[in-house]
Amino acid sequence: MIRTPTTTTTAAVITTVLLFLVILLITIQQLLQSQKMSTSPNPTPINPYKRLHIIPNSYGTLTRLPEFFPTVPPSTTNSTALSLSKDVVINTEKNTWVRIFLPRNVSDLETSSSKKLPILLFIHGGGFILCSAASPVFHEFCTNMASRLSALVISVEYRLAPEHRLPAPYDDVLEALTWVKERKDEWITKHGDLSRCVLMGESAGGNIVYHAGLKAANQINDFKPLIIKAMILIQPYFGGVDRTESEIRLGNDVALPLVVNDLMWDLALPVGSNRTHEYCDPFVGDGLKLWDRVRDLGWEIGVAGCDGDPLFDRNVELVKVLERRGLSVRAMFDKGGSHGMFVSDISKTIELFEFVNKFFIFKD
């Protein structure tokens, strides 16, 4: 065969195209491998203690570096805050207390309002080991919530792990509920409607509300005349031994990487326990049976989350399981986002408040 310029050119083009396809295939494979590595747990080593700004001590305690965990005082009448707030001691021996938030437009303590406000008991997050009711992010969240929902918000300062492992915070919240029902503060006496109480928790606070709420439901007569109407779980913090798809996909998540998640459970669960414990995994033990009492009491359940959160799959499964048990459940799941967004992103905070106001007890 005699090669002509045309056949030579054609062969060169074919060779070039084939070479391009080979390079493209290699590039795609490299990109896929890179993507797989970026979503797999710990592509680079993470020191969870350093990430959390904590130092482990002997005797099962932590040093929480104070520069990373500031606190703010309550908002007095001299402030420009949307809500006034004050701190009230619950238990001096346990060093537990509450920060109460009252909308500024009903804060005249000289006059008892004829229109009582619903009571919202809020439990902050922090993986059971960090943060406070006085942390700036939670103080601001509750300040806005009291004003926007026209509610008397009571944020609980509970004991932290590992100094006080689970179930210590569950017990602290139950004690706070007893304190509320006894109306030991004038703001509750003058402005709180004991017939409309909602329990709300964010992240670890959602876990605490889940377990404390179940206990309260099965001891309901102990809390009369307080009437609980709803439980709202914001990105509730649950776990398990087997990884979920969202945990694997977001294994190196900025907000909640797996190694940090694992450490917080190790520090919070009872000594000798693992993530098969009912405090961690809501689908083991007798927890689900206790929900039948919640159903019979007619409590509304709310769950908020997003698919950018490693806990997303567990949140979705919880909703499905509760619905199968006949509970009245309202869910709000966003696309994207991250763990903690409902308290750290004001646009998501407002979205959450609208969800709560629409479906729960903030109406007569």
Place of tokens 């039948």: 292
* Residue 135 falls in the annotated catalytic set: no
Q: Which tokens is 295 given?
A: 């159903």
* Residue 203 falls in the annotated catalytic set: yes
Amino acid at 137: V
Per the residue annotation, which of 203, 211, 253, 281 is the catalytic one?
203
Per the residue annotation, which of 124, 191, 277, 339 is the catalytic one?
339
Q: Which tokens is 273 given?
A: 């326990």
Kindly report the three-state secondary structure assignment for every residue of the chain: CCCCHHHHHHHHHHHHHHHHHHHHHHHHHHHHHHHHHHHCCCCCCCCHHHHHCEEECHHHCEEECHHHCCCCCCCCCCCCCCEEEEEEEEECCCCEEEEEEEEHHHCCCCCCCCCCEEEEEEECCCCCCCCCCCCHHHHHHHHHHHHHHCCEEEEEECCCCCCCCCCHHHHHHHHHHHHHHCCCCHHHHHHEEEEEEEEEEECHHHHHHHHHHHHHHCCHHHHCCCCEEEEEEECCCCCCCCCCHHHHHCCCCCCCCHHHHHHHHHHHCCCCCCCCCCCCCCCCCCHHHHHHHHHHHCCEEEEEEECCCCCHHHHHHHHHHHHHCCCEEEEEEECCCCCCHHHHCHHHHHHHHHHHHHHCCCCC
Buried/exposed 336-351: b ≥16 CB within 10 Å, e otherwise: ebbbbbbbeeeebbeb
Provide CB contacts within 8 A for 78, sequence distance 6+: none
Q: Counting beta carbons within 10 angstroms of the beta carbon of residue 324, is it exposed (0 to 12), middle (13 to 18) or buried (19 or more)? A: exposed
Per the residue annotation, which of 171, 309, 313, 338 is the catalytic one?
309
Place of tokens 């050119």: 9
* Residue 309 falls in the annotated catalytic set: yes
* Residues with catalytic roles: 203, 309, 339
